[in-house]
Amino acid sequence: MRLFRRQSTGPLGSLKGISGGLETALLLIDRVGNVLFANERAKELFGFESLEGRTILAVTLSHRVERIVRDTAETGEPHTEELGLRTTNDLIVIARAWPNPDQPRQVFLSLRDVTEVRRLERVRQDFVANVSHELKTPLTTIRAMAEVLADVETEDVELRAKYLKQIVSEVDRLTALVDDLLVLGRAESEQARLDPCNLSEVVEEVVVQLMPKALVRGLELEMMAPGPLMVSANAPQLRQVFLNLIDNAINYTVEGAIRVTISESESNEAIVTIQDSGIGIPSEDLPRIFERFYRVDKSRSRSSGGTGLGLSIVKHLVEAHGGSVGVESALHRGSTFVVRLPRVIPAAQGPHQTGS
């Protein structure tokens, strides 16, 4: 029985079949630098429908890549180098060139995109450096105060009480930082279970929880909601989002009010707006406020108990729910944070009806 028919293919045809599904860009280049073959990934990488017949310099716009190919063609030795490429996007690739064993002076070139890997490495390095700094500051303070207490006269009760109070404050800072790190770690590593929940109810719980703090500071804290508004969410994580945002609004408002408004859009989004009359955020800082450990006013953030992780936790949790968070602010003119979440439409309602 004849099971298959073997078709004759040329060497480039075989190469196309083998390399078609690779995640790595693969090119075959002749002795003068012209591209003889490029797989689909290479075409995607450089944005050309066809690369054959172009020079490797014209394709990559990189003299370093051209040099690697030329050196391999001349010496017959493989070359590997990590380098940057300016294509449709700025990329970091590992370029490896090696001679074609069947055709002297022809060179295979692979380009493996490691841009995202390197970005994540930088994020991790920055994160470790920031955590180390954030931990070192209170630990240094605690040690210094403990050493003073060890040397101070027992009779100096006032100084002892003062330093013990500051030590407790620094320990509280450390505890808050560790708690936020744990929240962020769980949010990044665990996929939360999402169930239908009443957004208005979740936000109201947070407002009630923070009302005493606002009153102590002489601030108004108001909430306006149209009634039940259902979203698919993890209620504890959603509570964490609005606890962070409303608590921030209270911390950075000296006088005036914080208004929390819940509404819905025509595109079936639930919208929560937190508007304050606080100190505001300079325009140059706005693009970075959701970064981990980024503080607009470092001294004020620390004195208010901030860890520098609150807004990054907010962003991560909201996006994990399929939503988005944004901010509008100006220095000395207050801030407005807007959280958008996909709504859940009850089966009994039509597409334009809302709960009462």
Q: Is the pLDDT of residue 355 over 50?
A: no
pTM of the model: 0.60
**Ordered alpha helix ranges (H), 152-275:** 157-189, 199-216, 235-251
Q: Which amino acid, residue 206?
A: V
Contact 108, 98 (CB under 8 A): yes
Burial 180-208 (b: 16+ CB within 10 A, else e): bbebbeebeeeebebeebbbbebbbebbe
Q: How far apart are CA 148 and CA 167, in angstroms?
A: 12
Amino acid of residue 151: D
pLDDT given at position 19: 60
Domains of the chain from N-terminus onward: 12-113 (3.30.450.20), 115-190 (1.10.287.130), 193-356 (3.30.565.10)
Q: What is the pLDDT of residues 186-218, one digit of tens each?
A: 777 667 788 899 999 999 999 999 999 999 999
Q: Where are the beta strands (DSSP E) in 77-163?
A: 79-86, 90-99, 107-113
How would you classify residue 219: left for phi > 0, otherwise alpha for psi between -120 and 50, otherwise beta? beta
Kindly state the tokens that stand for 129: 């450096």
Assign 250 a pLDDT band (cuts: 50, 70, 90).
very high
For residue 341, CA distances in Å to 174, 318, 321, 338, 355 come to: 32, 8, 7, 10, 16
Label residue 18 by pLDDT band (50, 70, 90): low
- The distance in angstroms from the start CA to the end CA of the chain is 72
For residue 17, pLDDT over 60 is answered with no
**Higher-scoring residue by pLDDT: 242, 137:** 242
Q: Please tell me the least confidently modeled range out of 28-37, 91-100, 141-150, 261-270.
A: 141-150
DSSP 52-87: TTSBHHHHH--HHHHHHHHHHHHH---EEEEEEEES
Collect all residues with Cβ–Cβ distance below 8 Å to 18 and sequence separation of at least 6. Answer: none
